[in-house]
Amino acid sequence: MPQTLKQMQEDCAAARKAIKRARDEHYAIGAFNLDNQETLIAVTKAAAAKNAPVMVEISHGEVKLLGLNNVRDMVDNYKAEFKVEMYINLDHSPSVEAAKAGIDAGFEFIHIDISQENHDATEEEIISKTKEVVEYAKKTGALVESEPHYFGGGSNRFTKAFDYDEIKKTFSTPEGSARFVSETGIDTYAAAIGNLHGSYPVPKRLDLKLLQTIRDSIDCNISLHGGSGTPGHYFEDAVKIGVSKININSDMRIAYRTTLEKVLKENKTEFAVIKLMDEVIEAVQAVVESKIDCFNSTGKAKPQ
């Protein structure tokens, strides 16, 4: 059932308070991608077990499969059933129209990523379209996130190691971050400091000194995309510096698929799929709980 505008505004106001608490108290709210209902159950159970605030998020592929309003309804149902503090983020929305649709569906967080659809988009084009979403988001109070560059990698397990020196060429700079935040009016800046979408055969390295200079140069929230495959100590330091949102996807997908393959191999004559999902959900839940601990958000949920 669609939310009323008043309910959307109340939810977005609560989301603003939640992200402010995270920044003030030096923890990050985990933003965990959904592939299906099983991953939503896993995130919800992890949030309840850890008493932690969480975001669940969907990107364009999941939007086409699941539908914005269906996700809104499912999240609201699980929030009520498990009494957890949970918000929805529209992740890497590739166009102004898609971002507006997320706002109209009552999503509390909107990531507008023009470079996702056009890797060669100019910074001027990105700024112009991001400003349009920021203005439209005033309707509900949704928080808008963006960045002035294409974010590399993909939500998969890669067999080839990345070239760190090559990635460094796309790192955020304090000057560029400050200019982009000032010109767009965004609520959250997606920083690039060594974080990269996907899982790789080598661990990721975050430039925490750079992160500190970016934190000192802007006054909005900072997010880190591509959190999978990152040693936990980087997250522990990043939240102390002032990161308040961290995205996780590939680690969950790897746990889901590898566990499902194991369960299928062990149960070759079982065709009631629902009977095979408990172990899969538990594996994904374990990943989410481990991230919540690294993000210092355990015990930080506001009572529902």
Enumerate the active-site residues: 91
Q: How many residues comprise the chain?
A: 304
Q: What are phi and psi for residue 229, nearest 5 degrees?
A: 75, 15
- On whether the CB atoms of residues 16 and 265 are closer than 8 A, the answer is no
Q: What is the largest CA-CA distance in the chain?
A: 60
Q: Return the bridge partners of 199, or none.
A: 157
Contacts of 217 (CB under 8 A, 6+ apart): 174, 175, 177, 178
Q: Give the bridge partners for 190, in sequence order.
A: 223
Please name the residues in contact with 89: beta carbons below 8 A apart, sequence gap of 6 or more.
Answer: 31, 55, 56, 57, 107, 108, 109, 110, 111, 145
Question: Is 110 in a helix, a strand, or coil?
Answer: strand
> How many helices and strands (H and E) does the chain possess?
13, 10
Three-state DSSP class for residue 304 = coil
